[in-house]
Structures are given as C-alpha cells and as structure tokens.
Structure 1
Amino acid sequence: MIDPLDIVIAEDDFIQRSYLTQVLKHLGYNVLPAEDGKGALDLLKSSKAQILITDLQMPEMNGIELTRAVREAELGHYVHIIMLTGGSHKKASEDALEAGVDDFMTKGDDPTRLKARIRVASRLARHAWDQAEQHRILKEANDRIQKDMKAAADAQRQLLPDIRRSMQGISIASVFEPSAVVSGDMFGCLSLTENKLGVYAVDVSGHGIHASLLSVAIGHLITPEFFTNTAFDASGAPDPAALVANLNTRFSAADNDDYFTMFCAVIDTDTGHMEYCQAGYPSPTYVASDGTARLVGEGGFPVGMFDHFTYDNDAMTFDEGDVLVLCSDAATEAETPQGEPFGKDRLNALVGENHLTDICKIPEIIAEQLHTWREGHALEDDLTVLALRRKQTQ
C-alpha cells in the first residue's frame, strides 16, 4: 500500500474544511478537499483514497447520498467513511448507517479525539487494502492455475481415442466427462497387428490435478508399441495380464499411495476371441445380439498398490453384432439427491435395452440417463463410457 494515505474531505464550509485539512496534513496524510459531495466522489474515483470524511448537510449531494454513491461505485477497494454531524441527528444517523457510513464525528470535537478517530480509520483502511491486495494476488494465481488446468485438460483429451471410429471391424464410441477441469480417467483402442486390437481403460484413484497427471503419464506410456511388447508372451499369444503386471511393477515402486484400476484386453478381430485382464476396474457389460446382458470379469486387484502382485487372464468370445460397454465407477455409483445409487443392474438393463442402437449413441444415452438420475446435479466422479460393437460380416 502507498504511504501516506490519501483522505478525501467533503465539506461545504470553508473554515471547517480548512481546519480538517490542516489537522490531517499535520498527521502526515495527503488531503484531497472537496466543497460538495459530487466533487468528493470524483476525487475518490480518480485517486486511491481509503478514507472519506464527509459533512452530513451539503448542497447538490449530501453526505448520505454521497455514501450511497460510494458504496455503489466500483472503486476496487474499500473506503472507510466518517460522517460529520452538527449535533443530535438520530434519524439522520440511522439513515447514514444504513447507507454505509462506518463512523461519526461531531463538528467541534476535541482535536485529540479527532486524531484518534482518524488513526483508527487509518488502521482499518490499511487492513482493508492489504486484504484486497491479497485477494488480487490469489485471484491472479488462481487464474493462472485455471488456465494451466484447461491446457492440461486439452492435452489429456488429445490422448483419448476418436469418439466415432471403426478399427478392424470394431465400431467404437465413447463419452468422457471429467468431474473437474481435468480427470483421472484414461482409455484407448490401439491397432496392434492386422487382426489384433488392444483396448484399455484406467481410473486413477482420487480427483483433480494429481490424478490427471498420473492418467496422462499412463496414456503416454501405453502406445501400440508398448502394448505389443508387453501384452503378448514369447509365443505371440495374447497376455494382457503381463501388461498390467508391468505397470504394477512400475507404479508400485514409487514412494506414494497412487494406484489405479484397469481393464485391459486383446481382441482377435478375425475370430472374436478376447483375452482380458481386470484389475479392479468395474466389470464391463456384454450384450449378445438377442439383448441378453451380463457382466464380464470378477473384479481383480488395483494396479500400483503392491509390488509383484500376480494378475490373471480371462477369455471370452466377442461375437459378431454383440456389444461391449466399459464404464468407470462414476456410472454405477451416481446417486440421486436422496442417496440411491444407479447401480449395476440398472446400468446392465439400460445397455441391454439399447444394444441395437447406433453404437455412437449408446455412450450418450448412458450419460444422459446418469444426469437425469442425478436430477441435474453434476457427477461427483470422472465418467468414462467406452462402447464397442463387433460388426457382422454377413
């Protein structure tokens, strides 16, 4: 804050105005005198004055009108207002307080009392200025953080697969809704060989920047080359559990509590054989062409909690025309305002009812139903919906 303080005086009486000016200058303040309320308001707008001493009765704009104008003006800082009165003005004092006056002084008060009041006002004004300055600094810092988070969110979205895409006879669609600007979710569909498709979904524990950084790191790591090198055994057979174990070794070695759930699969797009490993990620919904829906997998253990944990593969056949839908736990855990979760059964039924719908619409339908279930309230966790349909060859 600039020293010394600027003080505006609004007083139509020349003698009183001159007296106050001399007293305040003697105390070391910069004094900006005005002979009416309008002039005082102009001085407040053109300066950084923190204190206003105003007479109650003035032509054109009286002290109460001036106070209201100051409180309505966007000055960028608080102005401590002291009103001068000529004696007992109970009704005027009530109106002045309602308008925003902070303190009162009686004209002709002892100079010692005047100086004490000014010093108190000065301390309050300095405190208000310091608070405003801290708020400005915090706002600037927050604006920078929000800008950086938006850039991080944009970078994260660029890592995600196309929402409408077809790869090796598999139609793919997705919905991605972070609960904050950035998300701890990551997923991908990667072409590994001419007839092998890699699919994965990750949900990092926690929310916000930290979870997002880890999910982005995982997304950068899981390239087609990494997938091919780690998700097949020496004979060339699919082994997604080996990929999950590789990630577990990498991330459990870190000296922190980070962990994530994962679903990882290798699909033979010629035969429909799917080898998969579930590591704590919610069981996907598989819907046969007749509309029968069932859950895939039995849960498994998250990645990054314990080193040398053994992960296993499971297998199934992804038949032509069938649909596989992966959802992060935001789907089943979404609650109504009354606390009722959406649940696995309701999600399975929803996917089953819409299995013949255009694959691009299935994730959108799920997201819309979740928002309806929440009655318009935002989801409390990051939502990922990844839908795949194996096309029919005939």
Structure 2
Amino acid sequence: METLQAEPTNRSELSLLVVDDSRAQRRMLSVLLGRWGYRVTEAASGEEALDACAREKFDIILSDWMMDGISGLEFCNRLRRMAGDTYSYFILLTSKSEKAEIADGLEAGADDFLTKPVAPGELRARLRAGERIIGMQAELLEKNRLLGSTLTELQRVHDALDRDLLQARAVQQTFMRERRASVPGGDVSILFQSSGHVGGDLVGWFRINTNSVILYSIDVSGHGVASAMLSARLAGLLSGAAPERNAAIVMSSHARRETWAPEDVAQRFNRLILDELKVDQYMTMVYVQIDLLTGKGRLVQAGHPHPVILRRDGGFDRLGQGGLPVGLLEEASFTGENFVLLPGDRLFLMTDGITECPDPAGEELGEDGLLAMLTRHRAMPSGRLLEALVWDLAKYLGSDEFPDDVSGLIFDYNGI
C-alpha cells in the first residue's frame, strides 16, 4: 500500500482511497487528486482496500469495478456491511454502461459511477457532489450526537426528579397517620391511593378532646407537585399532633380544646387560600365533627362528593347540600348540617376519584354505582371493604392505574 500526501490547499482536506489493480491507473488518479487537495491512499486490490477501511475511515472511495480477486462490486458490498456509523461516498470506475449492471452496482451500495477513461472535469464534479453528501452526513451525525447528549441529560434530570418524587410520596403517606385507628366509641379506616407519584387528596382525623373527633376528606384541584404541596400545608393545619398550630382548634381559658364549627373552618380555609397562600389551586372538602357520647354530628360540604351513612339496618343516608369549593370565591359562604349516628352505623367520606372513575367507554361510576359496590361489600369490616372497593374500581376502569387520586375514610360508630 502506498500513500501520497497532497499539497496544502485552502480547502479542508478529505481522505480519499483509490482502489485499482493497475499501478499506472492508481498513480495517475492519485497525482490528479493530490493537486486538488485530497489526502490520498492507494490500494492494489479489493482485499487490501478492505484492510485499509478496517483501520481508517475514508470520506470518498474511487474503486475500479473489474479487478482480480475481490471485484469492486464485491468490495463495495462488503464495505457497506462493515459496522460503524460513518459513511464513505463510493464511486465505481467502470467501462460498463448497461442499465442492469448499473442497477447491480447501486444495489451493492455504490453512490455514483464514472466511465473509463476518466475525464478530469467530470471526476471533479462527481467528487464535489460526494463532498456535499459527506458534509451533510457529518452535520447529521453531529446533530445526532448533540441530541443523544441532550436526551442523556434529560434522562439524568428525570431520574433525579423521579427519586425526589418517590421520597415526596413516602412523606405524603405519613400525613394519613394510621390506616386503622380506634378512638373511644369508634374506629377509623383510611384509603389513599394517588394517581401519580404524589397526590392532592388528603383524608384524616384528629381528636379535639375526650368526647369529640374530627374527620375530614379534602381534594386539592389539579395534580402533581403543586397540589401535593398545598395538601401538605393543609395536613399541617389539621394535625392533631400539634394542636397549637391546628387551624380548627381553639384553646379555651381553662386549657380545654374546643373547635370552630365545621362551616367556620371552611370559611377560615377559604380566607387562608385566597388572602395568605394566594395559590392557583382551590379545594373541595367535607369536614365533620362527631360527639362520641351521643353520636350527634355536624358537617360542612364544600363542593365535595356527598358523605354516605351506611345504616346498621342496611339503609343509606346521603348527607350534605353540595356547596362551593374552598378558595375559589371570596364571597363564598358555607352551611353546616346536623346528623346523628347510631351504634353500628358507618360514615363514609370520599373524594371524586371514586365517583368520577370512568369505565373504558368513559361512563363515570357515579353515586349509584358506588352504592351498588358498598351494598355488595357492606358485610365486610371497614378496612376490607375499602380494599374491595379499590378492586371493584380497578375492574370498572379496566386498569389499576387510576386517572385521579382515590381516597376515602370510614368511621364505624360503636357508641359509648
């Protein structure tokens, strides 16, 4: 193999391989190409050319078709099968002019043809066409490299965000306290399943004093981090572990815990969201206060699904009058409603991720569908009933990936 270094030119040099079993033909082409500014390498056979291509990348290849051993056509075919993301512009030198033969050359991977004897003007024009192709390919490779680098960085950021969201989900789960808990006169069972890493639903309870318990179900508008952050703020404001920061608790002069009426709590949260937090989200809620001695309760419903009492005799009572969401309108007002639980009754609070769960055709479950599910499972203990409800919802949806957060709370009133 012989290499001829080209004279320097103002044009960027390209590497070019000349393949011909005629030494005179190789030298003639090499001298001409060198004058034009190409860095030229010679190969005396197809086998030698393949070895050269295995060691070095050539921008353009000029190869005779008819050679002893591996023909130019076979050399081209083997070159195209060699691994790598680079491309060499391949010109076959031939005396063949039949259409079928030219078609064979194109099928083998050749880009262009030149008829022998080669005319310098035509050769230079074909080389310039090849340079344009090589330039476009180099530009495409660089863009692909940049795209790959960008995708890698995006994946890294996504993975980091995914880890953060998983941690956030674990923290959010702690807001729900125990999924099963008992208070004098009753038991609490909680269901919470977010539709993504984090959710905007919040369900829970806290004691005011020995004889009173608060239950709540909240659904912050939207999905994702913003909704979860507001949900976390609300969890802190309804924490039984920190009564001094609880927005619903009032400490009397005798250090006895009292609470605002449910409708007043809704009004306070309405002002908090609009005047202090000033966020784009609003929320729906049901907030309930129950006297554990008497079973008497009072609730406020603010744009939330109706609470349901599963009566011990097998009936159902739907509570609430609808009402406006919290944090949507400054002039919104909220109305409380009284009810009574008898020993053996169960109060069920839920978010609209249950009642608005769609089937594959888009038909929502609705309150009637929910009551049918509750009827089917009402003989179960409350914890198992909630689990069965999730299974039924997944079956109704046709998937266990819910489009909205699914949460609920059942309070079993046992009486004292």
**Structure 1 Cα separation of the partners of residues 16 and 309 of structure 2:** 78
Q: Aligned pair in 2 of structure 1 residues 273, 163: CA closer, same or farther (>3 Å)?
A: same
Residue 162 of structure 2 is matched in structure 1 by 146
1:270 and 1:41 mapped to 2: Cα distance? Answer: 89
Check 1:136–1:237 CA distance in 2 against 1; reply closer, same or farther (3 A cut).
Answer: closer
Residues 117-148 of structure 1: CA deviation (Å, up to 9, x unaligned):
32222222222222222222222222222222
For residues 288-333 of structure 1, what are the alpha-carbon distances to aligned partners after superposition, in whole Å with 9 as ceiling and x for unaligned?
0111112111111111112353322211112211111112101111
Matching residue of 2:90 = 84
Matching residue's letter, 2:157: A
Q: SS where residue 286 of structure 2 aligns?
A: strand
Whole-Å Cα distance in 1 between the matches of residues 137 and 19 of structure 2?
Answer: 22
Once residues 80 and 238 of structure 2 are traced to their aligned partners in structure 1, the CA distance between those partners, rounded to angstroms, is 68
Q: Distance in 1 between matches of 2:182 and 2:81?
A: 70
- In 1: Cα distance, 2:297 partner to 2:52 partner: 81
Report the TM-score when normalising by structure 1: 0.77
The Cα of 1:248 is off from its aligned counterpart by 0.9
Unaligned runs of 5+ in 1: 1-6, 29-33, 44-48, 71-78, 97-102
Shift of 1:392: 5.7
1:300 aligns with 2:335: no
Instruction: Assess, with a 3 A threshold, how the Cα gap between structure 1 residues 8 and 336 changes in structure 2: closer, same or farther.
Output: farther
Equivalences for 1:1-394 in 2 at 5 Å?
57-58=74-75, 62-66=78-82, 69-70=83-84, 79-82=85-88, 84=90, 86=92, 90-91=103-104, 93-94=106-107, 104=111, 109-110=123-124, 111-224=127-240, 225=243, 230-231=248-249, 236=258, 239-253=261-275, 254-307=277-330, 309-376=332-399, 378-391=401-414
| Secondary structure at the counterpart of residue 361 of structure 1 | helix
Alignment correspondent of 1:3 = none
Corresponding letter in the other structure for 2:221: S
Question: Once the 2 structures are TM-superposed, how far is the Cα of residue 256 of structure 1 from its aligned partner?
Answer: 4.1
- Alpha-carbon distance in structure 2 between the residues aligned to 1:325 and 1:219: 20
After superposition, the Cα gap between the structure-2 partners of 1:383 and 1:42, relative to the gap in structure 1 and judged at 3 Å, is farther
Pair 1:53–1:284, CA change in 2 (3 A): farther
Q: Secondary structure in 2 aligned to 1:81?
A: coil
- d(CA) in 1 for partners of 2:331, 2:223: 26
The whole-number CA distance in structure 1 between the counterparts of 2:357 and 2:92 is: 65
Deviation by residue 1:147-181 (Cα, 9 ceiling, x = unmatched): 22222111111111222222333222222121221
Name the % identity: 21
Separation in structure 1 between the aligned mates of residue 55 and residue 289 of structure 2, nearest angstrom: 73
For residue 355 of structure 1, what is the amino acid of its counterpart? R
Describe the superposition over 1:16-67 as per-residue Cα deviations: whole angstroms up to 9, x where unpaired: 8x97xx98xx789xxxxx9787996898xxxxx9x987897349x922432x
Q: Is the 8 A contact 2:267 2:334 kept in 1?
A: yes
- Letter aligned with residue 57 of structure 1: E
Name the CA shift for 1:212/1:38 in 2 (closer, same or farther; >3 Å): farther
1-side partners of 2:309 and 2:17: how far apart? Answer: 78
Residue 115 of structure 1, CA deviation = 2.9
Cα 1:233–1:155 change in 2 (3 A) is: closer
Structure 2: distance between partners of 1:84 and 1:262: 72
Q: Which whole-Å deviations, capped at 9, do the CAs of 1:334-363 have from their partners, x for residues lacking one? A: 111112111101102322332221111111
Q: In structure 2, do the counterparts of structure 1 residues 179 and 56 end up closer, same or farther at CA, with 3 Å as the change threshold? A: farther
Does the 8 Å contact 2:213/2:292 carry over to 1? yes
Change (3 A) 1:174 1:126: same
8 Å contact 1:284–1:327 — kept in the other structure?
Answer: yes
1:232: Cα distance to partner? Answer: 5.9
One-letter identity of the residue aligned with 2:111: F
Q: Counterpart amino acid of 1:285?
A: V
User: Structure 1 residues 218 and 13, CA, compared in 2 at 3 Å: closer, same or farther?
Assistant: farther
Assess if the C-alpha contact under 8 Å between 1:293 and 1:352 holds in 2.
no
- Answer with 1 or 2: which has the greater Rg: 2
The residue type equivalent to 1:208 in the other structure is G
In structure 1, give the amino acid aligned to 2:92.
G
